[in-house]
Every structure is written in structure tokens, then in C-alpha cells.
Amino acid sequence: MSTTEAVAFWGGVHASRPAADGPRPNARLTETVTGLPSGDALDLGCGNGGDALWLARRGWRVTAADLSPVAVERLTALARSHGLEDRVSAVRVDLRTSFPAGAYDLVCAHYLHTPFELDRATVLRSAAHALRPGGRLLVVDHGSAAPWSWNQDPGAHTPSPREVADGIGLAPETWTVERADAPRRIATGPDGRTAEVTDHVLLVRRAA
């Protein structure tokens, strides 16, 4: 699939949902980052911007990357309206061909799934190498499909956190897996519906 098709698909996904004035951060982000000193963060697949805004309010400087121009434009406007434009930089990036430059204390990739071809292992390896010493990479994947998910394929394989870690292939003397589990939670969809879902959580720390 071409970049044009991918942009059109994800642009349509975001355009079909009402713009949120106060998007919620992901639960696995808040439980992981609370208590960490603020620094520079990279949010891969930033979506509606809930994670980026939450981090910015806590003193982080955030580069929020997404393929969808709708997501990027909405987050830019949201950051401005919340007085966070100096802490949130929303950029459109096609992770199939490029990766945001810079060094980060935190890289988060929440639900970086797509129906289009994407070498996720290479993307996440680049993310790990973009970490400063002591920095963390947080990868949260869908372990189950919510009723409102665009992907309702019952045969789709959702790799475990350990499979994701093995696929990235990071040297254990430099990167340590701090968490690899599959907790459940009650999630709320864009239309207000709730459902129990499983998250696949991987947290990797680069040696100081």
C-alpha cells in the first residue's frame, strides 16, 4: 500500500471521530511515567494527543508523531488552546521511511498497529537507540480487540511482550526489560462504550 493510501485511511479514521477537547492519556503511560523526572519524550502514533498533553502538563517536552495530518493538526491546535504549544511539537511522520531525529528520555508507542505494511521491529529498534542513557521505551499493544477497534479480524496475531522484545533484538548488556506482561482493564471507546480489554505491555530501559 502507498503512503497516500495510508494517509487517507488514518486521516479518515481520525476525521470520523469528533475532535476531543480534553483527550485522556493511556492508562499504561500514567502508571509507568508517574514519579519519573521529566525530560524529552517521543510519542509514536500520537493519535488524539492525550498522552502528549498529559506529559507536557508534567513538564515533559514532547515530540508527537503521527502519519495522519488530521491528528497532527488537531493536536497542534489543542496544545495551543491549552497553553502547551511550547512543550508539544506535533509532526507528521511516515515511520515506514523515516524516524524523528533527536535523543529522548522516554519513547512511547501505544497501539502502533496498522493494516498497512510496517516493519515494527525496525521502528522500535530505532526508538530504543534514540534513548538517552537511563531512558525508557514503553510499548503497549492490543492483546484483544475492543468492539470499536478498526481491526476486528479474529485471526489476527497479537505478539506477546516477550515476542516484541525478541523481535527488536536489543543487546541485554545495554537494554533491560523492566516489564513484560498482559494486564486487563476496562476501556472506554470514542462513543462512550466500555469493554474489558487486554494490553500487552513492554517496558525497556537503556543502561545509564
Under DSSP, is residue 168 helix (H, G, I), strand (E, B) or coil? helix
**Class (C level, CATH) for 3-206:** alpha beta
Helix axes 69-81, 3-15, angle to 10 degrees: 50
pLDDT band at 14 (very low <50, low <70, confident <90, very high): low
Q: Is 13's pLDDT higher than 80? A: no
**Cell triple for 55:** 506529559
Query: Higher-confidence residue: 128 or 186?
Result: 128
103-114 pLDDT, tens digit per residue, is: 999 999 999 987
Please report, for the chain, the start and end positions of each structural domain, with discontinuous segments joined by +.
Answer: 3-206
Phi/psi-derived region of residue 19, left when phi > 0, alpha when psi is between -120 and 50, beta in every other case: beta
Q: How far apart are the first and last CA of the chain?
A: 40
Residue 129 CB contacts under 8 Å (≥ 6 apart), including other chains? none
Can you give the pLDDT at residue 204?
A: 98
Can you give the pLDDT at residue 78?
A: 95
Paired strand residues for 179: 203
Q: Is 39's pLDDT higher than 90? A: yes
pLDDT band at 11 (very low <50, low <70, confident <90, very high): low
CB 202, CB 175: distance < 8 Å: no
Can you give the pLDDT at residue 149?
A: 67
Quickly tell me which residue has 480487540 as its cell.
145
